[in-house]
Amino acid sequence: MVGDGHVEKRSKDKKKKKKQKRGGGKKKMTAEQSLAFNSVTEWVYLDQSHSSSSSEDDFGVHQILNRAVDNNVVFELHSHSNFSDGYLSPSKLVERAHCNGVKVLALTDHDTMSGIPEAIETARRFGMKIIPGVEISTIFCQRGSESEEPVHILAYYSSCGPSKYEELENFLANIRDGRFLRAKDMILKLNKLKLPLKWEHVAKIAGKGVAPGRLHVARAMVEAGHVENLKQAFARYLYDGGPAYSTGSEPLAEVAVQLIHRTGGLAVLAHPWALKNPAAIIRKLKDVGLHGLEVYRSDGKLVDVNFLEKIDNFLLLLCLRQITYTDLADTYGLLKLGGSDYHGRGGHGESELGSVKLPVLVLNDFLKVARPIWCGAIKEILESYADEPSDSNLSHITRYGRGKMLKRNYPLNCGKGLVDECLSLWLTNEERQSAEFEAIKLKLSHVSINQG
């Protein structure tokens, strides 16, 4: 009898292990998590009920309605392409994100949104959603101090992009012009340090029309044999305040946050662990409308660095670093976000696309703040077209991969039809049931659209 008991116990243990391998050991969602998951997936697959077979959502995503629901919705909210200092084209970036299981990708190139259309076009093939974004280079000046600190602000927009596109583009173009001057100044400083570099070399690495950054200069230094790798280039010469460091025409961080607000975007502080005085910067930017900060990364810093150096347990160290910025976000009532900051340069020091798994409650909080802002931006863009139905204002509606909406099989020969279609793709039933949208449709009911 004793032997039989042992056999039965071993059999149960084997079954338990098999169940765990199949995922049976996963924790069940709480009621709060389930509600959050449903809300997030509703947005990810926004137009599910729009068509009986397949459709495209507000970001040009092609969806098959008989899809299987994925219990792990991965958002990647920080990535770069070769339109700034990334190594991959927007198409290759989207393809890699898809292979990594990413469902929603924010392309956040430095000071440009030029790669967004290509990313959206590629994402349509993979059933992914693209959030049009940008990482804005700014400076922060502490009151009573002459020192400046570089600060990067992430901006996230809806399908229409910025509500005042020209204003944002002019703002970014000025920063990009400054990046050209900055790169030339860094090359001049390196030449004075007996590390000869040519502007043509850096410009070739950056690519045609791309505003060069420190990474492009660092790559040129590696290729010229002045340093062994990118890390060494930054550690010795290009770090903030380093012997070859230079500033461009970056605006104040407060001004950038206010502009993001004004153009219908969500403003998030990027990699606060890279800042010398994050608490002061976060406090100041919160006063002018900052929405969130990156928290979910493994390389943040605690204020008490000496204490960190005494900790031997690496996993505990990572947890403590994350808790620090979580506490800062809680203190100032900010969203807690994060992303890989993927550039595609490879190596062990770079996080992979989709590697920063944001909890479903965090994603839901992000969308609860973002969607009303984006809804307001869409309303502003549509109102501009209703007040002045010009080709220029129409382009604001169709800017990011939406040109194909004018070539659908159903009639879109009037402005009202266009607005009906846009709203059904971009917003939930609840979001689009407003007197303002009805007024816009009424204004456009007799406006013809030149589909040519």
Using only C-alpha atoms, the chain has a radius of gyration, in whole angstroms, of 24
* SS3 label, residue 147: coil
Residues 270, 276, 277, 279, CA torsion sign = positive
- H or E stretch at 150: strand 148-156
In this structure, which topology does domain 75-171+249-303+310-356 adopt according to CATH? TIM Barrel (3.20.20)
Count of alpha carbons within 13 angstroms of residue 339, beta-carbon side? 27
Which pLDDT belongs to residue 346? 78
Q: Is 247 exposed, middle or buried (0-12, 13-18, 19+ CB in 10 A)?
A: middle
Centre a 10 Å sphere on the Cβ of residue 4 and count the other Cβ atoms it contains: 8
Q: What is the pLDDT of residue 48?
A: 47
Q: 174-238 has which fold?
A: DNA polymerase; domain 1 (1.10.150)
Angle between helices 253-262 and 165-192 (to 10 degrees): 150
What stretches of 66-213 show up as alpha helix (H) in DSSP? 90-99, 116-126, 165-192, 199-206
82 secondary structure, DSSP code: T
Give the count of beta carbons closer than 10 Å to the beta carbon of residue 3: 7
**Domain chopping of the chain, boundaries:** 75-171+249-303+310-356, 174-238, 368-445
Number of Cβ within 10 Å of residue 371's Cβ equals 17
Sequence-ordered alpha helix ranges (H) in 22-164: 31-44, 90-99, 116-126
pLDDT score for 405: 55
Looking at residue 128, what is its pLDDT?
92
Q: What is the pLDDT of residue 53?
A: 39
45 token code pair: 């697959």
Task: From 227, 228, 258, 259, select the one nearest 244 (Cα to Cα).
Answer: 227
Residue 146: predicted pLDDT = 67
Report pLDDT for 61: 47
Task: Give residue 147's pLDDT.
Answer: 75
What residues contact 382, with CB distance under 8 A and at least 6 apart?
A: 397, 419, 422, 437, 440
Buried b (16+ CB within 10 A) or exposed e, 48-84: eeeeeeebbbbbbbebeeeeeeeeebbbbbbbbbbbb
pLDDT value of residue 165: 95
The 8-class DSSP code of residue 234 comes to: I
- Name the phi and psi angles at 89, rounded to 5: -70, 160
CB neighbours of 281 closer than 8 A, spacing ≥ 6?
140, 149, 151, 253, 269, 272, 275
Give the pLDDT score at 5. Answer: 57
DSSP letters spanning 269-322: E--GGG-SSHHHHHHHHHHTT--EEE---S----S-HHHHHT---HHHHHHHHH
- In the DSSP assignment, the letter for residue 201 is H
The tens place of each residue's pLDDT in the chain, 452 residues long, gives 555 555 555 555 655 555 554 444 567 889 999 999 999 998 998 754 444 334 444 444 444 333 434 567 999 999 999 999 999 999 999 999 999 999 999 999 999 999 999 999 999 899 899 999 999 999 998 876 667 899 999 999 998 899 999 999 999 999 999 988 889 999 999 999 999 999 999 999 988 888 888 989 999 999 999 999 998 999 999 988 899 998 888 999 999 999 999 999 999 999 998 898 899 999 999 999 999 999 997 543 333 333 334 444 545 554 555 557 888 999 999 999 999 999 998 777 788 999 999 999 999 999 999 999 999 999 999 999 989 988 888 888 888 855 455 545 444 557 777 788 788 778 888 888 888 888 888 888 878 776 44
What's the pLDDT score for residue 322? 56
* Two domains, one topology: 75-171+249-303+310-356 and 174-238: no
Phi, psi of 265 (to 5 degrees): -115, 170
| Centroid of chain to Cα 344 | 15
**Which residues partner with 132 through β-bridges?**
107
Q: Which two tokens stand for residue 111?
A: 């000071």
